[in-house]
Chain A
Amino acid sequence: MNRITQKLKFLADRKEKALVCFITAGFPTLKATIPLVKEIEKGGADIIELGMPFSDPLADGPVIQASSQLAIKNGITLDHVLDYVREIRKHSDIPIVLMGYLNPILHYGKERFFTDAVKSGVDGIILPEVPLEESDRFLSLTRKYHLADILLVSPATPSKRIQNIDKVSSGFLYCVSTTGVTGRSNIGDIESYVKRVKRSAKNNSVLVGFGIKTPADAYRIAQYADGVIIGSALIQRIARRDSTQKIADWVRRMKEAL
């Protein structure tokens, strides 16, 4: 069983909710990523989502855009990202998901990338600009290499389509909290939406992301979902150079709120 599925099952058995923490690889420096992952894991993260920076991140708001831009300036490449994963794997079994845009992967070579990712210890992949209709050409590869292919649903997705997306998605279903890009404030009333997704998604756990900023947000959403994903709020803390200790404490508070 894939590390992600295993972890989510373990949590579900204990009636716990999952906390996924996103950080941009190579931000704020190339050397910062591995210590950050260690601290975030210590803080209580269940799954690590590593962002592979791209020059034109369509689905991201200003915070993650800026972090990607700086990481690219630092010289980050997919080779670095895979090196980070190999390094993390030396001392940890935490599930690792890569999030990124298509072009750097196509440039690296699709098949070569998936092979190298699995060898490095990656468990799943999130491609926010690859909707169901375009996912075929990746599904055959991710299945071949036993990588979880985590697809997204949004409030604009009709229920029938959620069912279809759930059928091909694996690992978990990424439930985008609102229409919009990452890091927006004020998630509205999402109870009925998340419940609708839960009803339609029979195969996967439903984890909610985009705009979750506080332990109170996390608590509220965890009432209906199987877990939450935090990104921009975490990046903001890293950007203002909070100590790793402080960041770990904040992650702990998020986890405790669930």
Chain B
Amino acid sequence: MKSQKYSYNYPNKLGYFGNYGGRFVPETLMHALFELEEIYREAKRDSGFKKEFVAMLHTYAGRPTPLTFANRLSEHYGHGKIYLKREDLCHTGAHKINNTIGQILLAKRAGKKRIIAETGAGQHGVATATVAAKMGLPCVVYMGEEDIHRQELNVHRMKMLGAEVVPVTTGSRTLKDATSEAIRDWVTNVDNTFYIIGSVVGPHPYPMMVRDFQSVIGEETQKQIRVSENKYPSILLACVGGGSNAMGMFYPFIRQNIRMIGVEAAGCGLNTNKHAATLSKGRPGVLHGAFSYLLQDRNGQVELAHSISAGLDYPGVGPEHSALKDLGRVQYVSITDKQALEAAKLISRLEGIIPALESAHALAYLNMLIPRTSKKDIIVVNLSGRGDKDMMTYSTAFSVREKKK
């Protein structure tokens, strides 16, 4: 492969990644968004901020996370070398904390006294409740009633950390509606409240900010793979719901000639109406403050997504992914519930790592990818979270299957 370099400089001043992004929010929030943009710009220039951020990542979140050579998994497939970026080893069990540390430091700079967040699977809610506790700030987490039932463990964690969990009973009662409620809270309490968004979604500057905070994943990977292989990987693989772990892994490599694959949730299959494959099956539209691909019906109403993984169960996607799709820079594929479950089992048995259901989608794609790779290929999969929260789903799925046999 030639070392062709890509030029890439998104977003622009108005928060657009090509055609996607922007700020589609009520006027009341515009002032807060300008203020946030300014605070973030200043923080980026301030070496003290960077130092504090890195210190917290190292001494609190447990970074750097290892890059593990998956020797048995590589042997299983027979060619190519597979590495796993171990975000499952972060404090609270997923990559989400990289971003919440960054944003809570901004909240402190902005002098905001109250933290709010939305959550689907509960990982972002836990990561937010965690840093809010560490900073001594009150925290309210909006969570769909449906997800509260599906992810009970994380609800208990948030409560133990001192956060108030507000059940959202409107619409589909999942992440989509929890996000809308969080935005409504922010519109109402904009003076004293900082909204910590959990993915590379929402109005500018959130998609950029969250991407930057998550970029530590790709930056560490660059250093680590050089130590073990003395070169860059040839393929990067990550799951995409809103898309923050994928952006964090991809962005530091974006100007390099490296193949990148984002894996969405195909749920029960792309030919059914129960999936969450926004980039594969959606159309551009506006939800939660940004123009991006969106699952919608023939009247432009937002459609419900479905995935066995609550973290991927979202009808929208970050605007930067929409741009990367249109540019052809990242290839987006999808994996069904069933394929993800199988992959989770395989990685557990071969590598001694129980992955989160979200991350299992990325791992499952190895089945399709590896037959078409060469021996020389080095593949890094972002193992974005651990599977503790999914144990009920796993044990139910596998015990049903045992019985069928």
Least Cβ–Cβ distance between A194 and chain B, in angstroms: 15
0/1 interface trace, chain B 281-318, chain A, CB 8 Å (1 if under): 00111111100001010111110000000000000000
0/1 interface trace, chain A 63-95, chain B, CB 8 Å (1 if under): 001000100100001100000000000000000
Q: Is the C-beta of B351 less than 8 angstroms from some C-beta in chain A?
A: no
A151 to B171 alpha-carbon distance, docked (Å): 27
Given contacts A56-B176, A104-B301, contact A130 B184 (CB under 8 A): no
Q: Is the CB of B24 within 8 A of A179?
A: no
Segment from B25-33, B39-47, B93-101 that makes contact with A: B25-33
Given contacts A103-B285, A156-B190, A181-B187, contact A55 B171 (CB under 8 A): yes
0/1 interface trace, chain B 258-288, chain A, CB 8 Å (1 if under): 0000000000000000000000000111111
Q: Is the CB of A106 within 8 A of B300?
A: yes
List chain B residues, Cβ under 8 A from A151: 27
Question: Pick the contact of A56 from B27, B284, B287 — CB < 8 Å?
Answer: B287
Given contacts A133-B23, A134-B23, contact A179 B300 (CB under 8 A): no
Given contacts A133-B14, A179-B188, A181-B187, contact A102 B27 (CB under 8 A): no
Interface residues on B, range: 35 or more
Q: Is the CB of A58 within 8 A of B180?
A: yes
Q: Is the CB of A65 within 8 A of B170?
A: yes
List chain B residues, Cβ under 8 A from A129: 24-26, 286, 289
List chain B residues, Cβ under 8 A from A179: 28, 187-191
Q: Is the C-beta of B183 less than 8 angstroms from some C-beta in chain A?
A: yes
Which chain B residue has the least Cβ–Cβ distance from A102?
Answer: B286
List chain A residues, Cβ under 8 A from B183: 58
Question: Pick the contact of B30 from A58, A62, A102, A133 — CB < 8 Å?
Answer: A133
Q: Is the C-beta of A198 less than 8 angstroms from some C-beta in chain B?
A: no
A12 to B364 alpha-carbon distance, docked (Å): 68
List chain A residues, Cβ under 8 A from B25: 58, 129, 131
Least Cβ–Cβ distance between B339 and chain A, in angstroms: 29
Least Cβ–Cβ distance between A60 and chain B, in angstroms: 8
Least Cβ–Cβ distance between B202 and chain A, in angstroms: 11
Which chain B residue has the least Cβ–Cβ distance from A158?
Answer: B31
**Residues 189-241 of A at the B interface (beta carbon under 8 Å):** none
A156 to B192 alpha-carbon distance, docked (Å): 12
Q: Is the CB of A77 within 8 A of B299?
A: yes
Q: Is the CB of A104 within 8 A of B26?
A: no
List chain B residues, Cβ under 8 A from A131: 23-27, 30
Which chain A residue has the least Cβ–Cβ distance from B30?
Answer: A131
A180 to B183 alpha-carbon distance, docked (Å): 10
Q: Is the C-beta of B385 less than 8 angstroms from some C-beta in chain A?
A: no
Given contacts A152-B27, A154-B27, A156-B190, contact A105 B300 (CB under 8 A): yes
Question: Pick the contact of B286 from A61, A103, A180 — CB < 8 Å?
Answer: A103
Given contacts A72-B301, A104-B301, A158-B31, contact A56 B180 (CB under 8 A): yes
A107 to B283 alpha-carbon distance, docked (Å): 9
Q: Is the C-beta of B22 less than 8 angstroms from some C-beta in chain A?
A: yes
Q: Which of B27, B180, B284, B296 has the most CB of A within 10 A?
A: B27
Q: Which of B30, B283, B284 has the most CB of A within 10 A?
A: B30
List chain A residues, Cβ under 8 A from B300: 78, 103-108
Q: Is the CB of A103 within 8 A of B296?
A: yes
Q: Is the CB of A58 within 8 A of B171?
A: no
Least Cβ–Cβ distance between B107 and chain A, in angstroms: 18
Q: Is the C-beta of A128 less than 8 angstroms from some C-beta in chain B?
A: yes
Which chain A residue has the least Cβ–Cβ distance from B186?
Answer: A179
Least Cβ–Cβ distance between B62 and chain A, in angstroms: 36
Question: Pick the contact of B302 from A56, A105, A108, A154 — CB < 8 Å?
Answer: A56
0/1 interface trace, chain B 7-36, chain A, CB 8 Å (1 if under): 000000010000000111111111110000
List chain A residues, Cβ under 8 A from B176: 56
Q: Is the CB of A152 within 8 A of B26?
A: yes
List chain A residues, Cβ under 8 A from B14: 133
A108 to B26 alpha-carbon distance, docked (Å): 22
Residues in chain A within 8 A of chain B (CB atoms): 54-56, 58-59, 61-62, 65, 69, 72, 77-78, 101-108, 128-134, 151-158, 161, 165, 176, 179-181, 184
21 contacts between A and B (CB under 8 A): A58-B184, A58-B187, A59-B26, A65-B170, A101-B286, A104-B300, A105-B300, A106-B284, A107-B285, A107-B299, A129-B286, A131-B24, A131-B26, A133-B22, A151-B27, A157-B27, A157-B28, A179-B189, A179-B191, A180-B28, A180-B184
The 8 closest A-B pairs by CB, nearest first: A107-B300, A104-B300, A180-B188, A154-B28, A55-B301, A102-B286, A103-B285, A55-B302
Q: A59-B26, A59-B187, A103-B294 are in contact. List 18 more A-B contacts (CB 8 A).
A: A56-B287, A56-B288, A77-B299, A78-B299, A103-B296, A104-B299, A104-B300, A106-B300, A107-B285, A107-B299, A128-B26, A131-B23, A131-B27, A154-B26, A156-B27, A156-B32, A179-B187, A179-B191
